[in-house]
């Protein structure tokens, strides 16, 4: 369906495009370009990084892929499946990503968006909500160590 949709819009179904879409579908969680490249190589395909970036931007533009930023300075990408709106809980230490779904939350957020549109006169296109924390697996090691978590961020927060 994704491919057909793209084709109908004049895009070509190139190898790179098809494989990238497939990998993102399989991934099931946000991946960065480095990871995507690793997956491509594993599939026996070497795709230039320029192409990967351009391809992803095309998919973002066509709203097939959604961009997500955690705090490590790189964009991550996730396939947008219909009726699959969700958020993420990210472990500061191991970067493990857990999807978070809550209809109650969506309801409140949608309500709020309507209010913002009315009151602040601001047209909202989308929102991004991320939870940052420490997963169960990393929690013990954090308690043991003298230091703070081995946060994988571009801008590391030093030990307090």
Which residues make up each annotated binding site?
85, 91, 94, 106, 127, 135, 138
CA distance 115 to 65: 27
- Residue 98 contacts a second copy per CB under 8 A: yes
One-letter-per-residue 3-state SS of 10-55: CCCCCHHHHHHHHHHHHHCCCECHHHHHHHHHHCCCCCCHHHHHHH
Binding site for Fe cation, by residue number, is 85, 106, 127
User: Closest Cα to residue 24, out of 48, 3, 50?
Assistant: 3
Report the site for DNA in 33-92 (rule: CB under 7 A).
33-34, 46-51, 53-55, 57-58, 73-75
CA distance 85 to 63: 13
Instruction: Output the smallest distance, CB 158 to a second copy, in A.
Output: 6
Instruction: Output the smallest distance, CB 140 to DNA, in A.
Output: 26
User: Closest Cα to residue 65, out of 21, 7, 100?
Assistant: 21
- Residue 108 contacts a second copy per CB under 8 A: yes
x/- map, 137-156, a second copy, by CB under 8 A: --x---------------xx
- Residue 15 contacts DNA per CB under 7 A: yes
| Geometric angle at alpha carbon 6, from 130 and 20, rounded to 5° | 55
Catalog residues that contact a second copy under the rule CB under 8 A.
53, 57-58, 60-62, 67, 69, 71, 73, 75, 89, 91-92, 98, 100, 102, 104-105, 108-109, 111-113, 115-116, 120-136, 139, 155-158, 160
């Amino acid at each position: 369906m994704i491919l057909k949709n793209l084709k109908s819009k004049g895009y070509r179904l190139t190898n790179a495009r098809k494989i990238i879409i497939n990998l993102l579908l399989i991934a099931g969680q946000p991946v960065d370009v480095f990871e995507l490249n690793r997956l491509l190589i594993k599939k026996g395909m070497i795709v230039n990084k320029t192409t990967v970036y351009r391809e992803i931007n095309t998919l973002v533009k066509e709203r097939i892929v959604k961009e997500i930023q955690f705090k490590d300075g790189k964009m991550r990408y996730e396939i947008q499946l219909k009726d699959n709106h969700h958020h993420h809980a990210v472990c500061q230490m191991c970067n493990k990503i857990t999807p978070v779904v809550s209809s109650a939350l969506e309801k409140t957020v949608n309500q709020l968006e309507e209010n913002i549109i009315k009151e602040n006169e601001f047209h909202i296109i989308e929102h991004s909500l991320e939870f940052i924390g420490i997963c169960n697996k990393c929690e013990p090691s954090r308690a043991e160590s003298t230091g703070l978590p081995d946060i994988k961020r571009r801008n590391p927060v030093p030990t307090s």
